[in-house]
Amino acid sequence: DVMQARWGTHGDHPIIALSPSSVWESFDLTVKAFNFAEKYRTPVILLMDEVVGHMRERIELPGPETVEQVERTRTTVPPEWYKPYENFPSDVPPLVPFGEGYRYHVTGLHHDERGYPTNRLDEVQPWLERIFRKIDRSLSDILLYEEDGIEEAETLVISYGVAARSALYAVEKARQRGMKIGFLKLQTIWPFPEEVVEHASARLHRVVVAELNRGQLALEVERVVGRHKVRRVGRADGEMIQPAQILAALEEWTLR
């Protein structure tokens, strides 16, 4: 599911995928997902695992007037001039909702400024560059994460989703036993936060990736920091990954 969120369609394209680890984050990241979709005119996936989906926690919801709501950019041109995929300086052309008198074509194929399929390289290439550029130039806004104890750490734990709850508990127990452990919780998993992971692990030789699968996002971590640095801790048998499993991996690493 992690890789399907990134590579689950034909063609090459960017995607935003957010992964909550609590009831509050499920609310908060849902709001952010809608805002990202409107702001960058792109699909956004809220990648919630089953445990979080069935979780019950007490939270205090903010008043509607305090919740950020991004409105999409609206066109100022008449229908006969409107080009829904025109290259704009912001890389995000205005999108008119259906039913407001503007006619445009929607397709999954390479298309021109009006949305009609094309194989012309002078039309396809600028479009491809634009849809990647609008995400790449906004990573500081899109990449959401939390880090703790990175500066003093000798080993780094990276996790996301519900596995991050077990990982944080294991980190706290490891610190009580004298181990210097840093913790990086990813809320945005796509686009993968390469520079964040690279910076957090730059001076470290040990990185533990805890996730509720056999090591899907660990592949990305290995690509960034090097396979020899990474220890995968995963579970894919339908049961929750346990803090003891992660703690055991941390103890094994520190004894090397």
The domain locations on the chain are 144-254
Q: Which fold has domain 144-254?
A: Rossmann fold (3.40.50)
Q: Residue holding tokens 């005119």?
A: 41
The more confidently predicted of residues 17 and 12 is 17
**Cα–Cα distance list, 123 to 85, 117, 120, 130, 230 (Å):** 11, 10, 5, 11, 42
Indicate the residue type of 207: V
Please give the average per-residue pLDDT across 198-205, as a whole number: 92
| 96-132 residue pLDDT tens | 888 888 888 888 888 899 989 999 998 889 989 999 9
pTM, rounded to two decimals: 0.93
Contacts of range 4-9, beta carbons closer than 8 Å, 24 or more positions apart: 5/45, 5/47, 5/189, 5/190, 6/190, 9/108
Percentage of residues of the chain with pLDDT beyond 90: 70
Asked whether residue 138 carries a pLDDT value surpassing 70, the answer given is yes
Q: Residue holding tokens 């935003």?
A: 16
